[in-house]
Amino acid sequence: MARTSPPATKASFSNALRTSCRCASLNTAKTPLSSLSQMMEGSPASGSDEARVRGAQEYTRAMEGASKASDILDDYWTRYAAKCGAANSRFGDRPWFDIFNPNGVKIIGQSEYDCYDWLAEVRGAANRIKEGMDRASEGARRSGVYPGTMRDIRRRHRMEWSGWDR
């Protein structure tokens, strides 16, 4: 009986495994040999893996939108915060994230502007962004996106704040 040399590549190895057995029932059965073959070939992504990838993509799109809206709110904050004497402690990537903390933003001093109205507008816009973030986070969690992946995506879009995970 002649001996053959070992297969040179993973693909030829798995092909050799597949063709070595002529019995159809053995080829489709889950055996240690078929598991090894599948591992060597690289098994297709499972349904949960595909859902996780789609969830991360959807979460990324949501963070892109939230980031754009936040950039506009950043500009509005920057124009009037100093004039209204808005004091905040800066929790997170954006100064207005403090709006979500009890007593996080305080109006101090007098101004030519209606600073309480300005703060109410900031609060309203911030709440709309937060609602979108909460919906996106819930969708990502349901899709199995890992919390660390979600934090990394938020960080890339300057949307990091400890309150998102509460």
Nearest to 76 by CA among 96, 61, 60: 96
Tokens encoding 1: 């009986």
CA atoms of 16 and 7, how far apart (whole Å): 8
Q: How confident is the model at residue 104 (pLDDT cuts 50, 70, 90)?
A: confident
Look up the domain containing 16 and give its range: 10-41
Q: What is the pTM of this model?
A: 0.67
For residue 69, is pLDDT > 70?
yes
Q: Is residue 82 part of a domain?
A: yes
Which pLDDT belongs to residue 31? 56
Q: Is residue 103 part of a domain?
A: yes
Which pLDDT belongs to residue 111? 72
CA atoms of 94 and 117, how far apart (whole Å): 20
Distances, alpha carbon 59 to alpha carbons 13, 68, 107, 152, 161, in Å: 39, 14, 34, 11, 16
- Look up tokens 């040999």; give the residue: 33
Which pLDDT belongs to residue 98? 84
**Residues 74 and 94: beta-carbon distance below 8 Å:** yes
Same structural domain, 73 and 32 = no
More confident residue, 98 or 19: 98
- Single-letter amino acid code for the residue at 114: D
Same structural domain, 36 and 106 = no
For residue 25, is pLDDT > 50?
no
Which pLDDT belongs to residue 135? 95
For the stretch 112-163, pLDDT in tens is 778 888 889 999 999 999 999 999 999 999 999 999 999 999 999 999 887 7
Same structural domain, 96 and 57 = yes
Same structural domain, 73 and 87 = yes
Same structural domain, 73 and 99 = yes
Same structural domain, 88 and 113 = yes
Total domain count, the chain: 2
Which pLDDT belongs to residue 147? 92
Q: Is residue 5 part of a domain?
A: no
Q: Is residue 71 part of a domain?
A: yes
Q: What is the mean pLDDT of residues 96-100?
A: 86
Same structural domain, 69 and 125 = yes
Q: How confident is the model at residue 37 (pLDDT cuts 50, 70, 90)?
A: low
Same structural domain, 154 and 89 = yes
Same structural domain, 74 and 108 = yes
